[in-house]
Amino acid sequence: MGGKQSRLWIVNVISFFLFSLLSVTGLINWLLLPRGYGSGAGFLVSLRHSLVTMHEWTALLFIIVIGVHIWLHWTYVKKSLDRYREKR
């Protein structure tokens, strides 16, 4: 694999990992863990808050990695936009 191809592959793997982590933390918080402080389950509430923090930081990293992904594909994006403009 060439230099650009290997960078694209690494960015794709990282973005898949981050998206998977976002999905898991979001689903666990949404479906499994109790909401609020009144439930009496102190450990689960603190676990929920930890997972929310992890979810937020993972989302930020995911946005950055997607920005890098678009930057690496920028020539393709420009060509596609030019083709779209020519059709109009």
> What are the backbone angles phi and psi of residue 39, rounded to the nearest 5°?
-80, -20
Give pTM, 2 decimals. Answer: 0.81
Residue 36, H or E segment: none
What's the CA gap between 52 and 46, in Å, rounded? 10
Q: What is the pLDDT of residues 30-76, one digit of tens each?
A: 998 877 666 566 788 888 889 999 999 999 999 999 999 999 999 99
Q: What is the C-alpha R_g of the chain?
A: 19
pLDDT at 40: 63
- From first CA to last CA, the distance across the chain in angstroms is 37
Do 25 and 54 touch, CB atoms closer than 8 A? Answer: yes
